[in-house]
A and B are shown apart, each in its own frame.
Chain A
Amino acid sequence: AQSVTQLGSHVSVSEGALVLLRCNYSSSVPPYLFWYVQYPNQGLQLLLKYTSAATLVKGINGFEAEFKKSETSFHLTKPSAHMSDAAEYFCAVSPGPGSARQLTFGSGTQLTVLP
């Protein structure tokens, strides 16, 4: 069994400030972890993924996430927010390679960037 909890359905930051979006997971096997982003009126787009290699994963648009097994966390960060980062972000977990049909998504975090 697996699950994902995203803490905070809405996060607001000022432009240039640090972005931190929280994700905690539960999995009975070593997980694959993902962050997807959904811009308004669009589908989801993969930001980054952890697949049991390096624990610090770098993604597109300056985002990165760190896998912490002891904390069962996979928080998403970006040092400096940009207006174009405003979107909804989804954390997801799967039980391993080739298992897209077993992806479990979180409820999402809406990121607002204030000028």
Chain B
Amino acid sequence: ETGVTQTPRHLVMGMTNKKSLKCEQHLGHNAMYWYKQSAKKPLELMFVYSLEERVENNSVPSRFSPECPNSSHLFLHLHTLQPEDSALYLCASSQAPGQGGEKLFFGSGTQLSVL
């Protein structure tokens, strides 16, 4: 089993649907991240959780709602998305600062298509 697992791998949803993306890390890390990867654009950091507390929210629309119930699990709840939200959503984890915390470990991503 890989260190960071994301489900589902693919998701197609209509603009009125509600869905959730799930991420689980088995590395004992205490920081978790959501990134958005769109074609031809740099990775965009969406949210950061450290010790289960949200420490960063990069002006992400409220139709994206993260949840971190414990240090191993991270969710991204989606509702009333727009077609421009179609992208690959990547989850990552890292150690705390001072413990190699500059290195990210990524999951394989969820390819989201909004119709």
Taking Cβ atoms with an 8 Å cutoff, the residues of A that contact B are 4, 9, 32, 34, 36, 41-46, 49, 51, 90, 94, 96-101, 103-108
Contact = CB atoms under 8 A, between A and B. Distances in A.
Contact of A32 (B98, B102, B106): B102
Interface in B77-115: 90-92, 94-109
B97 A103 contact: no
Contacts of B74: none
Nearest to A4: B42
A107 B42 contact: yes
10 tightest A-B CB contacts, nearest first: A98-B97, A43-B106, A98-B101, A100-B94, A105-B43, A44-B106, A101-B48, A105-B42, A43-B108, A43-B107
Nearest to B95: A98
Given A43-B90, A44-B90, A99 B42 contact: no
A100 B43 contact: no
Q: Is the contact region of chain B dominated by helix, strand, or loop, or is it mixed?
A: loop
6 contacts: A32-B102, A44-B92, A99-B102, A100-B102, A101-B45, A103-B104
B81 to A, nearest CB: 21
Interface in B14-58: 31, 33, 40-43, 45, 48, 50, 55-56
Contacts of B109: 42-43
Contacts of B9: 41
A18 B59 CA distance: 41
A58 to B, nearest CB: 16
A15 to B, nearest CB: 26
Contacts of B55: 101
Contact of B56 (A41, A101, A106): A101
B102 A51 contact: yes
